[in-house]
Amino acid sequence: MGARVGPFEFIILFFSFIYTLALTHLLFAITRMIRHRRSLVFSWPHALWMLNALLLLCTNWISLWDFHRFDTMPLAAIAFGFVLVIGQYFVCALVTPDFEDGDSFDLRAFHEREGRTYLLTFLVLILFALVANAAALAAGVQAWANENWAVLAMTPPVILALTVRARWAQILAPLVLVALMVAVLVVYYPALTRG
């Protein structure tokens, strides 16, 4: 007789396909950058936003573990999760250049041209995460509600990068975001436990 599949396993399997596609965008772009490194025009702001997309992907994936102990999952929790996963996909897809369809290897130009789009996507995802984290409290996921301090703190760096085009702001903002995401992982997910 097979193992019983609970709602968490059922939903996480579906979400994992979307997370895999998002990760594929990042990894494929990185391998293309490495392969064409001689003709690549490197951009620190763009590289840091790609790192943020990867950290956000990892952090959001790990945070789904908070639902593993539930015997039931309300449709509202599944819907919020689905929107978050789709938003995560858009962040990863928009921050990565599409080299196969004509994007050049000038990442400074890519950040200048497309930065506003992927930064707005980061901001929308962060703002939606605030709502989803608050709603998770009603579903009994206290950890998500507790994480809203960090999610709220992620908003100013993204707004800074959207509004101040100076190089210092374009580097400081994603560095602050990296620190906040690492803090969330260290504080809330130092280890995944069965209980």
- Least confident segment among 58-67, 114-123, 169-178: 58-67
Residue 174 lies in a domain: yes
Residue 34 lies in a domain: yes
Residue 192 lies in a domain: no
Give residues with Cβ within 8 angstroms of 14, minimum separation 6: none
**Band of residue 195 on the pLDDT scale cut at 50, 70, 90:** low
Count of structural domains within the chain: 1
Distances (CA, A) of 105 to 20, 38, 71, 135: 24, 10, 48, 42
| Predicted local distance difference test score (pLDDT) of residue 102 | 74
Residue 162 lies in a domain: yes
Arithmetic mean of pLDDT over the chain: 92
Residue 178 lies in a domain: yes
Residue 195 lies in a domain: no
Owning domain of residue 50? 8-187
| Predicted local distance difference test score (pLDDT) of residue 87 | 97
Residue 157 lies in a domain: yes
Distances (CA, A) of 130 to 9, 36, 124, 127, 175: 24, 39, 10, 5, 21
Question: Which is more confidently placed, 105 or 194?
Answer: 105
In this structure, the dihedral spanned by the alpha carbons of residues 174, 180, 182 and 188, taken in order and rounded to 10 degrees, is -150
Per-residue pLDDT at 135 exceeds 90: no
- Is residue 124 within 8 Å of 136, Cβ to Cβ? no
Q: Which residues pair with 106 in a beta bridge?
A: 41
Give residues with Cβ within 8 angstroms of 101, minimum separation 6: none
Average pLDDT (32-55) is 96
Average pLDDT (163-190) is 96
Helices (H), the chain: 7-35, 44-63, 75-95, 107-138, 142-146, 148-163, 167-188
| Predicted local distance difference test score (pLDDT) of residue 146 | 86
